[in-house]
Structure 1
Amino acid sequence: MKPVHQNNALDNHHTSVIGMSECGKTSVVKKEIIKPTDQVVIFDPYKDYDGELAQRTVRGYSSLRDFAAAVMAGRKTQQGFKIAWQPTAKTTNKEFDQFCRVAWVNGNGRHPKPLKIILEEVAEHSNSAGKADGYHGEILRVGRKFGLHSINIFQAGQEVSKTIFRQCKYAYVMMQLLDSDAEYLQVKMGIPAEEIKALEKLEYIKKVNKDWQKGKIRW
């Protein structure tokens, strides 16, 4: 199966969220990116999205087959949903690719709602810092034509594919563990390393194309 109704007029909404452990990456997704009426699928191997997301109950499935069926049923409607795959065993690159395949085949350039794809732990499931492969690569490179909006979450820029930096129009840069991490992001994203180094927990720099501004998550 493939996504349907290619629409070259659709905008790019791919997003990256980058920061060290416990800096607030998942909080950015929950507070800044996802809305109650969105249709959302979540790669959630550590159950970070149990409970509610954007005031909606997250339906979690341990079975990939059941998850895929729920997503396909949801996409036949115009209603918002929050559906997570929460496998019980440790995931490998193969399982990550299978999740991305489910998201990929549910793309539809004529659907009134985009499909937002939350991808936790991207670095753990990346083969290299080179070109993104598999269905993740397909989503990044051409997914916007089918209404697919990926949200790529990871700790260090050096550990993920360069395709993410090239294809994500939006980025939230958060507190980094090492100065070298901030310096790497300056090269890749054009944000001054000193601005990144100064970030504290729950603070972020939001970048849209070449423009950026600071913000902070408030609960």
Structure 2
Amino acid sequence: MKKKLVVLTGAGISAESGIKTFRDSDGLWEGYNVMDVATPEGWHKNQELVLDFYNKRRQQLKEVQPNPGHRILAELEQDFEVHIITQNVDDLHERAGSTQVLHLHGELLKVRSTQNKNLILDWQEDLFTGDFDANGHQLRPHIVWFGEEVPALEEAIKIVEEADYFAVIGTSLQVYPAAGLISYTYSDTPVFYIDPKPIAIPNIQNKVEIIPEIASEGVAILRDRLKSI
């Protein structure tokens, strides 16, 4: 039976493909104030702005490709049972070949009903005011905005609890509840932390191996480390 490798990924792994993150600079996301485009309040204040923002992100996603970090994680499925838990809303893990990907914060290429959170549709093109579900309710981006619950969190916790190895890649460990997932590993589970600017991980008993590299280079090191264990 293959060992279970659970990987928590964040914006750092997608940044190498050309997708920007707002937390690296001044609170702006592609030039937009995050509170205007990633909160329920922003949606109610200016629906057109929010829709336009995610339409642009959806189009941008079509122009970028998975990078070596994504591809190596997919290749590791040959030797491990790999579960990706990602804070990213892009589909680069899936396009690289990873088969078990759980999106904590939603997906750019899906939309959902504003009245029924379980009515989720695949959506490749622009979304506009007047695009309704079958019951006549406006559709919205399938994104978990600040202040909203994270529906996939319980499933993510169960996956982490079963990890033989746990890796953190390209996330600042500042966004909760995702950052708290590491605390659900068993104390004897090896943890690998890949980040060019690693921070101290609070309240963790595990042995943590820090790999201070960008995601793609760090994942290559992780691959070699895991195969040598």
Shorter-chain TM range is 0.3 to 0.5
Q: Please give the TM-score of this superposition, normalised by the length of structure 1.
A: 0.36
Which structure carries more relative contact order (alpha carbon 8 Å, separation 6+)? 1
Larger Rg: 2
Q: Please give the TM-score of this superposition, normalised by the length of structure 2.
A: 0.35
